[in-house]
Amino acid sequence: MTDVNDQAQQRRDNVNTGALQDIRVLELGQLIAGPFCGQLLGDMGADVIKVEPPVTGDPMRDWGQGAEKVQWEVIARNKRSVSANLRVPEGQALVRRLIATADVLVENFKPGTLEKWGLGPDVLLAEFPHLIIARMSGYGQTGPYSDRAGFGGIGEAMGGWRYIVGEPDRPPSRMGVSIGDTLTATYGCMGVLAALHVRARTGQGQVIDAALYESVLQVMEGLVPEYDRMGLIRERSGSILKGIAPSNVYACKDGEFMIGANKDSLWKRLAAAMDRPELGDDPRYATHLARGENQDELDALIDAWTRTLTMDQVDALMTAHSIPAGRVYRAPDMLEDPHFQAREAIIEVETERFGPLKMQSSFPRFSATPGTVRRPAPSVVGQHNAEVYGELLGLDAGELAELAAQGVI
C-alpha cells in the first residue's frame, strides 16, 4: 500500500502511478464541465491532450476571482495543450488524426457542433469503434431542448437545485461554485470509467451523454417521489434541512460552529455534552420526528448554549462525546488545519505563471495506483504543438510552421 509520504515523493518526481496511465484523452471542451472531466481523468493518470482555439485558447484561462486568474492552474493541470482551429476543414482533419490515437474524447459544446464539423459519434465510431465519447451539455443530446444553449446555472435551476437553496422569503440563491458543471463532469468521468471497463471486455467504445440538468437531478434525493406520492414540494429553508434536527450552524463567542446530531443516539450525547441530559428523553426532542416538529425551538436552545462558549470549547465537547461537528472553514482555515496537512489534501504545485501555488490534491485516494499532479497547467496556448503533433502525427517543424501561417494551429 502506498502511504501519503510515498505519494508526495512520487509527485515531486513526476512519476505517473495513476490507474489510467495507459489511457489517452482528447479534450475538446471549454470552461468547466468538459475540462473538469479532463482534470479528473488526468489526475488519475490519463494522458490528457487539450485542444484549444489558436491564439485565444480556452476562455477558462481568464476566469476566476481576484486580479490574478489562478483557477486555470487547477483545471488545466496534468494536460498538454495543442491548438487547432476546428472551424476550418484543415483543423478538423488534424484533430481527427489525433482522435485516431485516443481512447477517450471529451467535449462540452452545444449539441450538433461536433456533427457540423464532421466529427459526430456516428462518423467517429464507424472509423474508431474503440473510442469512448463523453458529451456534456445543458439538456443532453436528444429531446426538444437539446439544441438550446445551456450553462451550469440553468441546469441547476431546471434540475431542482436553485429552487430549494436560500432563505424562504428571498429569491433562490446559488452556491459560490459552479456545482452544476462539476457534477456533470463527475458523472461524465464515471461514465468514462464504466465504458472503459466494458471496452476491456468487448473492445467496443460508446457515447456517454451527460446533461447538466440531469446531473443535478441525480442528487435531489426524495424531491420527485415526495411530490409524486404526497404532493409535497420542497421549499427553501435557509441553513437547515426541514425536519432534520439538530443540524445547523450555531454561534459561539468567537465564530460559527456546525453541529450535526440529527440521530436519536447522537441527540442524547449532545444533551449530555450540554450538561442537560434530561433533554435526551424529553418527548419534544427524543425522536427524529419530534425533533423535526420542534426544530426551531431546538435550534434556539442549542444556539443559546453555544453562545456561552468559544469554538475551541464546543469542539472539545463534541470530540469528547463523539458528535459530528466542526468549524465552518475558509481557505486560510484549510491551510492551517493539521488534518488537511497530514493527508496532503492541499498540495503545492510549481506553476509556470505564478510559481508555487497551493491547490487541492488529486482525489479520490488509491492505495495501489495513486493519482498525482505531474505537470502544471500549460501557460501558453498550443504549448505542446511540436511535442504532440510530432510524437503522435509525425509532423515536423516546417509543417507546423505552415499550419500556423494558415491559421490552422
Give the whole-angstrom CA distance, residue 193 versus residue 214: 19
Indicate if 296 belongs to the active site.
Answer: no
Residue 108: which residues within 8 A CB-CB, separation 6 or more? 29, 30, 31, 33, 34, 35, 37, 135, 136, 137
Q: Which one is catalytic: 43, 47, 103, 181?
A: 181
State the Cα–Cα distance between residues 329 and 351, nearest whole angstrom.
25
Cα-atom radius of gyration of the chain, to the nearest Å? 25
358 and 335 in contact (C-beta within 8 Å)? yes
Q: What grid cell was written down for 94? A: 488534424
Instruction: Count the alpha carbons within 13 Å of 322 in the hemisphere toward its beta carbon.
Output: 4
For residue 343, what is its C-alpha cell? Answer: 493527508
CA distance 80 to 118: 24
The four Cα atoms 279, 281, 284, 286 give a dihedral, to 10 degrees, of 110
H or E element, residue 293: helix 288-293
The residues annotated as belonging to the active site are 181
